[in-house]
Amino acid sequence: MELLGIYHYWVFAVLLMIGFYAVVAKVNLVKKLIGLSLFQSAVFLLYITMGKVSGGTAPIFLKDMIDPVFSNPLPQVLILTAIVVGISTTALGLGIVVRIKEEYGTIEENEIQEIDRR
Amino acid sequence: MTVLFSVFLLTLLVITAIAAVQSRNLFVSVMLLGIFSLLIAANFLLLDAADVALTEAAVGAGISTVLFLGALALTFEREHRPTPHRWLSLAVVFAATLVVLYATFDKPKFGDPGAPVQVHVAPWYIEKTPEVIDVPNIVTAVLASFRGYDTLGEVFVVFTAGIGVLFLLSASHGHAAQRRPDNGDESKIGLRNDLIPRVVGRLLVPFILLFGLYVQFHGDYGPGGGFQAGALIAAAVILFALVEGEERTLEAIPRGALLALMVSGALLYGLVGVAGIFLGGEFLNYSVLADDPIAGQHLGIILIEAGVGLTVTGVLLSIFHAFAARDRF
Amino acid sequence: MQAVLDIISWLLLTAGGAFVLVGGIGALRMPNLYTRMHAASVTDTVGAILVLGGIMLQAGLTLATIKLAAILLFLLITSPTASYALANAAMIAGVKPEAGRAPDTEHDS
Amino acid sequence: MYYVVTIATLVTMALALVRAVLGPTVYDRVLSVNMFGTKTVLLISVIAYLAGRPDFLDLALAYALINFIGVLAVLEFFKSRSARRLQEQSEREDN
């Protein structure tokens, strides 16, 4: 049971590093952004995992609840806003990529560097 | 048993992520990202985060796919080159993974009610919400009232990102790209002339809008709120744009109206805060907005959520139109 | 009465689960795109009807039942439309419905 | 009894994921994304009752309404792309 619980954290670690790999190793800029959103999601997962209380339920009062145990609402608030902020910033990144493509004709990092060196 | 389901979903999540990064075809990555979003939303639900799952549903199921596809339509569909220094990067990443995995052993036990996160401020929020704010959804109470400053900041970040995209993509086209002229061939074959999806899409739009409004105003009582509603309403308009075409969407909601939505949402949020000051309270203290502090809180939360919803709708739609106007996809 | 309802709902849920599973196996094992699509889309609809129907019987006459009915309605509208649009797009792109193996012309291009 | 459906749905999701990873054509992948969406709706409805929280059904409703958009966007994209290719071909032949 304890190991099953820690599995959540392991998945967080692995997802984080998959995203990290895409950001550092891939040369394609769109792929980097995909990696960045995986990285973001890993962090979201960590926060929500930490907020879980065993035997708890979603922090919304229903009429017929007696002495409910709630999971932590605070991480949920932070992540809820972060998801929408995440998509807006990803869109900003995509906008930059589109402009780069229009100016350089490529979205591969090393090709852009070659063009810059000329 | 639920933990086992969760473990299964998490394993699928890792497989999806690896496949998304490993594929050289960017479409495949984007589609796998869609599956990733579905899986992580189910996981959030299993971890008791209904509001977060709803947000992920509203954003991940439609809007993020559409934005990535829009960007792909304007750039390339494939990675041109294999990853350079692949083994070096893998080694570095592997070492970093080991470090993070080592760190997880010091984390508090999963679901432990005595963990530092659970005993700091959360019990206070849970205890005080029925007394001070009296809305059933504690997440909404914390989001809109207790931590209104945070949310104000987030709304302005979203606003700024929207402005940034508009600046980037409404710049005059570089020499490399020219807007493809509308030609008969393309419009004949697109979704706009495919009767069944078109009819069904048009049928669904009002229901999604209605559901968006329900999520907006039911946010105090169940999962929902301005962020989710904004994303849902934006998704409805994007669906309309897919089946009816860009021009008709812009006729219905012109760009100026979208800008007005963006600005008025952020302004509404700020003004509610300032109104608190003028009525003798602090910035973003809603208790003074009405004679009864609890009624004031309710009024404040509804106004704030409306502001959030307006801004999010405006920003997401402006971003969508900015990408779509670059080139039809 | 409650026991009868429970048994019916149990049967519906199990049948729904079976259909869903069969659809999944079909989508994985069938030889080409159109057969896979057939397996997935038909069982999608039946599975959704059975599972949501089973839950509805459990829920009784509450707001939840209306929500479930709405979910079912929208699934019944959107899921076949998506399948139709998908098949149509594949046809236009030139994936031919042949018996046997799928043509290997359009690998992810 | 909800467990039977949940497990069946989860296994189906795994199968659909395998199909999405294997391909071979993009349409197979779109098909599995679509399947995944429907399965998620069912899974969420069942989990809502498993957890005794009928208010979670809002989420399933959101997915039932919105899933469609992703699939349509992808298909629209492919259609206009193949149209563009046809047109480029015919232009090349004209020249």
User: DSSP states of D33-67 as a string?
Assistant: HHHHHHHHHHHHHHHHHHTT-GGGHHHHHHHHHHH
C11 touches chain D (CB under 8 A): no
Q: Which of C71, C75, C81 to mutate to test the interface with B (most CBs of B within 10 A)?
A: C81
Q: Predicted confidence band at B171 (pLDDT cuts at 50, 70, 90)?
A: low
Give the gap in angstroms from C-alpha A77 to the nearest C-alpha of chain D. 17
Per-residue b/e over C3-16, b at no fewer than 16 CB within 10 Å? eeeeeebbebbbbb
Residues D51 and D81 sit within 8 Å (Cβ to Cβ): no
Residues B51 and B136 sit within 8 Å (Cβ to Cβ): no
Mean pLDDT value across chain C? 84
C14 touches chain B (CB under 8 A): no
pLDDT for the residue numbered C99: 62
- 3-state SS class at B281: coil
Q: Do D77 and B329 touch (CB under 8 A)?
A: yes
- For the segment A74-86, the average pLDDT, to the nearest whole number, is 92
- 3-state SS class at B327: coil
pLDDT in tens, B216-267: 998 888 888 899 999 999 999 999 998 888 888 888 889 899 999 999 999 9
Q: Do chains A and C touch (3 or more CB pairs under 8 A)?
A: no
Please list every residue in chain A whose beta carbon sits closer than 8 Å to the beta carbon of residue D53.
Answer: 57-58, 62
Residue of C105 and B60 predicted with greater confidence: B60
Determine the Cα–Cα distance for residues B56 and A47; give it in Å rounded to an integer.
14
| In the predicted structure, residue B121 carries a pLDDT above the cut 90 | no
- For the segment D38-44, the average pLDDT, to the nearest whole number, is 93
pLDDT for the residue numbered A104: 87
| In the predicted structure, residue B183 carries a pLDDT above the cut 50 | no
Please list every residue in chain A whose beta carbon sits closer than 8 Å to the beta carbon of residue D57.
Answer: none
- For the segment D53-74, the average pLDDT, to the nearest whole number, is 88
Q: Is A99 inside any structural domain?
A: yes
pLDDT in tens, B77-104: 888 777 788 899 999 999 999 999 998 8
Determine the Cα–Cα distance for residues A5 and B208; give it in Å rounded to an integer.
37
**Domain span at residue D25?**
2-67
CA torsion, points B68, B73, B75, B81, in degrees to nearest 10? 80
| In the predicted structure, residue A64 carries a pLDDT above the cut 90 | no
| In the predicted structure, residue C9 carries a pLDDT above the cut 50 | yes
Q: Predicted confidence band at C106 (pLDDT cuts at 50, 70, 90)?
A: very low
Q: Do D65 and B2 touch (CB under 8 A)?
A: no
Determine the Cα–Cα distance for residues B209 and D64; give it in Å rounded to an integer.
14
pLDDT for the residue numbered B173: 53
- For the segment B55-69, the average pLDDT, to the nearest whole number, is 90
Q: Do B329 and D83 touch (CB under 8 A)?
A: no
pLDDT for the residue numbered B309: 94
| In the predicted structure, residue B308 carries a pLDDT above the cut 60 | yes
- Residue B247: which residues within 8 A CB-CB, separation 6 or more? none
Q: Do chains B and A touch (3 or more CB pairs under 8 A)?
A: yes
Nearest-by-Cβ selection for C14 from D4, D46, D61: D4
pLDDT for the residue numbered C12: 92
Give the gap in angstroms from C-alpha B159 to the nearest C-alpha of chain A. 9
Q: What six digits make up the tokens of B231? A: 């994303």
pLDDT for the residue numbered B79: 80
pLDDT for the residue numbered B13: 93
Lowest mean pLDDT: which of A96-100, A105-109, C94-98, D40-44? C94-98
Determine the Cα–Cα distance for residues B231 and B238; give it in Å rounded to an integer.
10
Q: Predicted confidence band at B60 (pLDDT cuts at 50, 70, 90)?
A: confident
Listed by start position, the domains of chain B span 121-329
**Domain span at residue A80?**
2-52+70-117
For residue B293, give the nearest of B310, B276, B311 by alpha carbon.
Answer: B276
Determine the Cα–Cα distance for residues D88 and D85; give it in Å rounded to an integer.
5
- For the segment D54-66, the average pLDDT, to the nearest whole number, is 90
Q: What six digits make up the tokens of C49? A: 């009807």
Residue of B101 and C104 predicted with greater confidence: B101
pTM exceeds cut of 0.90: yes
What's the number of domains chain D is made of? 1
pLDDT for the residue numbered C74: 93
pLDDT for the residue numbered C33: 86
Q: Do C92 and D79 touch (CB under 8 A)?
A: yes
Q: Do C27 and D19 touch (CB under 8 A)?
A: yes
Q: Do B80 and A106 touch (CB under 8 A)?
A: yes
DSSP C94: T
CB pairs under 8 A between A and B: 310
Q: Do chains D and C touch (3 or more CB pairs under 8 A)?
A: yes
Q: Do C64 and D57 touch (CB under 8 A)?
A: yes
pLDDT for the residue numbered B212: 94
pLDDT in tens, B35-44: 999 999 999 9
A14 touches chain B (CB under 8 A): yes
- For the segment B107-126, the average pLDDT, to the nearest whole number, is 84
Q: Predicted confidence band at B207 (pLDDT cuts at 50, 70, 90)?
A: very high
pLDDT for the residue numbered C101: 54
pLDDT in tens, C25-52: 998 888 888 888 888 888 889 999 999 9
Determine the Cα–Cα distance for residues C108 and D3; give it in Å rounded to an integer.
37
Q: Do C88 and B191 touch (CB under 8 A)?
A: no
Nearest-by-Cβ selection for D45 from C9, C55, C108: C55
Q: Is D23 inside any structural domain?
A: yes
DSSP B282: -
Neighbours of chain B (3+ CB pairs under 8 A): A, C, D
Quick one: CA dihedral C69, B49, D37, B1, positive or negative? negative
- For the segment B303-325, the average pLDDT, to the nearest whole number, is 92
What's the number of domains chain A is made of? 1
Determine the Cα–Cα distance for residues B209 and D20; give it in Å rounded to an integer.
31
Q: Is A58 inside any structural domain?
A: no
Q: Kindly state the percentage of chain A with pLDDT values over 70.
A: 98
List the single residue in B with minimal CA-CA distance to A37: B33
A57 touches chain D (CB under 8 A): yes
pLDDT for the residue numbered B179: 46
Neighbours of chain C (3+ CB pairs under 8 A): B, D
Please list every residue in chain B whose beta carbon sits closer than 8 Å to the beta carbon of residue C108.
Answer: 25, 27-28
CB pairs under 8 A between B and D: 164
Q: Scanning the structure block, which residue is given the tokens 């030139």?
A: C94
| In the predicted structure, residue B180 carries a pLDDT above the cut 80 | no
C10 touches chain B (CB under 8 A): no
List the single residue in B with minimal CA-CA distance to D63: B57
Q: Kindly state the percentage of chain B with pLDDT values over 70.
A: 92
Q: Kindly state the percentage of chain B with pLDDT values over 90.
A: 43
| In the predicted structure, residue A20 carries a pLDDT above the cut 90 | yes
| In the predicted structure, residue C56 carries a pLDDT above the cut 80 | yes
The CATH number given to whatever domain includes residue A87 is: 1.10.287.3510
